[in-house]
Chains A and B, each alone.
Chain A
Amino acid sequence: MSEIVLDGISKRFDDGYEAVKDMNLDVNDGEFMILVGPSGCGKSTALRMIAGLEDITSGELRIGDQVVNQIAPKDRDIAMVFQNYALYPHMTVRENMAFPLKLAKAPQEEVDSKVIEAARILDLEPHLDRRPANLSGGQRQRVAMGRAIVRDPKAFLMDEPLSNLDAKLRVQMRTEVARIQSRLGTTTVYVTHDQTEAMTLGDRVAVMRAGMLQQVGRPSELYANPANLFVAGFIGSPAMNFMPATVSGDVVRLPLGEVRLDLSRRPSQADGRDVIAGIRPEAFEDASLLAADARERGMTFRTKIDLVESLGAEQYAYFQVEAGQLEAEELRELAEDAGAAEVPSSGEGQVVARISAESRIDRGDEAELWVDPTRLHFFDPANGQSLLARD
């Protein structure tokens, strides 16, 4: 068990593409750190540099107290779970899990007992003598985990280990991975593009975009105080709604109407400027369900509801606002990542509101909605940075 320190790590490929730019990240001993971001953001490259499978162009990587830039993967004492599992097809489950121990020249008794123990933890005992080809996806995934945990390494590195499982199994294995990690207490770096996995699994989450670290923090922190437009839009599902706004004094003019802000949520250095306002779907509510005093605290507005999706426990209401054109590179990339850029009707000006399941609002209604002004976010349109003072 050790901490992993990335100190100004950069990766430039031979073709000149810079996949990771000056990355600084401390993964504490025993911590479950998630690297999350859209595809191509450099998260896998960062992980592979920690594993030693990619050379580090510049910067210093330390595992424990040792600088490992020039150390071969086999001498770094780390274990890795690959996205496609990378099981050895010519070996049985037992041989697969014993492989790292055999290479380390562990005595046969130790190999046997460790493999049995790992199999017990992962519920693989009945399958020890089968080959990977005869296992289901979830079982293969567990064998890959088993191969990682038998060795008691300094750190686990996981490269989207759940992305090949179907949705139901993925949720199951997610809790399984969290359980095993907390049981073993091994430092773990986990790469995913799925923000739900990131939010549910990690002690801390590092959001990356275009090779640069955007924000590192506990999941709740990223959710409540995103540092910039990208983090705001990436974390949370459904995603945060963005719309143009103008600030004058303590009043913000949104396409929905005007809101008076209290001091704590007032954007800094924004007086008289155009900003981008971000409102999470859960900051909305059906106004007719609220008591009068609650209504007073927020702003109500009337709008035509285009669509209502009922999920049982909650509903999502979609409506349009006069958004104009929101110009920000981050937003464009988020839209591309979500695939929204290819859908003509989505995106511009569409807002999602999460409303209570009791709401009677229906498609096509002219409904009155309420928004909580204490949960507004403001971003600088020029650079995407949050304009709220961080606490």
Chain B
Amino acid sequence: MRRGSREYASWSIGIALVLAFALVPVLWILSLSLKTPESVTDGSFIPHHWTFDNYNALFQGGFSNGPFLHPLVNSIAIALIATAIAITFAAFAAYAIARLDFPGKTAILAGALAIAMFPAISTVGPLFDMWRSIGLYNTYLGLIIPYLTFSLPLAIYVLVAFYREIPWDLEQAAQVDGATPLQAFRKVILPLAAPGTFTAAILVFIFCWNDFLFAITLTSSNASRTVPAALAFFTGPSQFTAPTGNIAAAAVIITIPIIIFVMIFQRRIVAGLTAGAVKG
């Protein structure tokens, strides 16, 4: 009993340290976003003068003239579209890799892994040239395509791991019960792989949401610029003030969708959904 409580205490301390390490910077950003431009550098954790000016400034000018609203919509749209496409393709690809025997299967997996490891920076220059000559520069599609390239391998890897956990017998049972392969996939495999699908979706969404490199290189205006890139173009109230408060406010705002996204889906990402399928 005493050993148990001591263990409990040491775990609690450890977890508290990790939480502090992860959360203090976020809280600091939150604190910065609520400070007036004069007190940004005062070093106090809790703002002396609370203000929402930084937030108001972001939305001034609305959709067409403001610095933030249009990029925010771009970010949401591009990340959602890329996630949807990536998960759809990855679901089929991962199913084939996990279940079917076909020549070149290992080559595909190895290729996917190689692409995921590929330094994105080395593709940026060629993409910039190509996109400009074929008209994809500064478009949604121009960002979605490279996002797919890098997120598909990730999604496929996650989904293959989940599909492999699903007992093959279930699918065969469905086939004997009269299901076509597609019906078996849709009615048995997909519902059971839901936690994996949501995990992959969240990872892909965060990847697209956070990307700065492609967003800054392949866009030129708010027509398709996403928030991480737009932040770099923020200006202060005068040319002598850094837009620290505005950037902090924007950072807080773009963190919110991620938190919502994860909160909605975390309940689906519970293990044990397949409990009871098979014995043992």
Contacts and interface: CB of A to CB of B under 8 A. Distances in A.
Interface of A: 14, 51-53, 72-74, 78-80, 82, 84-90, 99-100, 103-104, 131-135, 137, 140, 147, 151, 157, 164
Contact of A99 (B177, B191, B192, B278): B177
Contacts of A147: 173, 177
B276 A53 contact: no
Given A74-B180, A103-B177, A137 B279 contact: yes
A132 B170 CA distance: 13
Interface residues of B, number: 26
Contacts of B274: 89
B76 to A, nearest CB: 31
Contacts of A103: 177-179, 183
Contact of B273 (A72, A90, A157): A90
B235 to A, nearest CB: 53
Interface of B: 101, 167, 169-170, 172-180, 183, 187-188, 191-192, 273-280
Contacts of A78: 176
B179 A86 contact: no
A84 B167 contact: yes
Name the residue among A78, A87, A90 with the largest chain B CB count within 10 angstroms: A90
B167 to A, nearest CB: 7
B169 A84 contact: yes
22 contacts: A73-B172, A74-B177, A74-B180, A82-B169, A82-B278, A84-B169, A84-B280, A86-B167, A86-B172, A86-B277, A86-B278, A88-B170, A88-B188, A88-B277, A89-B192, A90-B273, A99-B174, A99-B187, A104-B178, A133-B276, A157-B176, A164-B280
Given A82-B172, A87-B278, A89-B192, 16 more contacts: A52-B175, A53-B176, A73-B176, A74-B178, A82-B278, A86-B167, A87-B276, A88-B188, A90-B192, A99-B177, A100-B178, A103-B177, A103-B179, A132-B277, A134-B276, A157-B176
Contacts of A73: 172, 175-176
Contacts of B176: 51-53, 73-74, 78-80, 157
Contacts of B191: 90
A147 B169 CA distance: 14
Nearest to B272: A133
A15 to B, nearest CB: 12
A119 B155 CA distance: 41
